Amino acid sequence: MAINTPIDPMAELEELVNSEDTKNTTFAPFFFSIKDGQKALIRPLLNLNQYVRVEKHEICNPASKKFEVKAVCAASLHMQGCIHCAKAALAKSKDEKKLLPSTRIILPIFVHAVIDAKTGEYITYTKAHEDGSSEEIPISGVRLLEMKKSSSILADFIRSYNGNDDSDVKSSHDITTLDYVVRRDGAGTETRYVVTPKAPRALPTDVVAIPDWTHDRDLVLLQYADACPFEIADNDIADNDDLEWDASSKKAAKSVGKPKSIPDF
């Protein structure tokens, strides 16, 4: 195979979405997330053919509902020595094999607002001021939308990109030209998302509201990797007889950076 084979990103994306191992996975909101009964008006900031693809190691403890592992696979960033891949290679049980990396598609988005679908009220967050006072501010701002291959949101974006959705509002192969309402109903395995294209609202024009990195897929990847830091082994862990599978173990691992705190909207 020639190294310089031109890649059609959309064909590759559709092939990925339609590939076999998309079962048993659900959309897992990470930076962007809304709750059951909420809907958000969002604008993609990169077009779909500029999507950022990463491999991610993720283990969620069902009891605590906390992530024990949430890391970009170092191999995804063209680095060797991913500690999680090494551990996954030693995995025997079904639970341990959950440490194997899986694909995520990342798009930076601007969230215009999040609304309670029933009452129509804006969802707010509490902002604390230095003088001790606080105020309720409607949720709005840049977020990373993280989608698994099986995400219905991703499938809806692909339809909108291709123009074969049922909406009268067409994207003309550029989803950054439209807003989308993303509505969530249900929770857990019953969660459903409905994506509806809308005529675009004006975006903020200042770089504070929408930073330049949101328009550059390499920088989007860096932001993502900053939030889910990869971990690589200090030495060749294949030669390390002491290594045992333990998702929470940091043995032989070098954490690169700390998980960035997720900003308030």
Residues making contact with Zn ion (CB under 5 A): 73, 82, 84-85, 101
Shortest distance, position 230 Cβ to Zn ion, whole Å: 7
Give which of 216, 198, 109 is closest to 160, Cα–Cα: 198
Shortest distance, position 75 Cβ to Zn ion, whole Å: 5
Shortest distance, position 84 Cβ to Zn ion, whole Å: 5
Compare residues 74 and 178 and give the one whose CB is closer to Zn ion: 74
Shortest distance, position 244 Cβ to Zn ion, whole Å: 17
Please answer whether residues 39 and 113 qualify as being in contact, where contact means their C-beta atoms are separated by less than 8 angstroms: no
- Angstrom CA distances, 193 to 6, 29, 67, 125, stand at 34, 11, 23, 23
Shortest distance, position 232 Cβ to Zn ion, whole Å: 9
Compare residues 18 and 249 and give the one whose CB is closer to Zn ion: 249
Shortest distance, position 83 Cβ to Zn ion, whole Å: 8
Residues facing 198 on adjacent strands = 179
Please answer whether residues 9 and 162 qualify as being in contact, where contact means their C-beta atoms are separated by less than 8 angstroms: no
Gap between the Cα atoms of 124 and 221, Å rounded:
28
Compare residues 101 and 108 and give the one whose CB is closer to Zn ion: 101
Other Cβ atoms closer than 10 A to 33:
16
Compare residues 82 and 252 and give the one whose CB is closer to Zn ion: 82
Compare residues 40 and 69 and give the one whose CB is closer to Zn ion: 69
Gap between the Cα atoms of 36 and 112, Å rounded:
18
Please answer whether residues 110 and 205 qualify as being in contact, where contact means their C-beta atoms are separated by less than 8 angstroms: no
Compare residues 178 and 237 and give the one whose CB is closer to Zn ion: 237
Q: Is 95 helix (H, G, I), strand (E, B) or coil?
A: helix
Q: At what angle do helices 9-18 and 152-162 cross, to 10 degrees?
A: 140
Compare residues 73 and 182 and give the one whose CB is closer to Zn ion: 73
Shortest distance, position 67 Cβ to Zn ion, whole Å: 15
Please answer whether residues 112 and 152 qualify as being in contact, where contact means their C-beta atoms are separated by less than 8 angstroms: no
Backbone angles phi, psi at 30, to 5 degrees: -120, -85
What does DSSP assign to residue 259? P
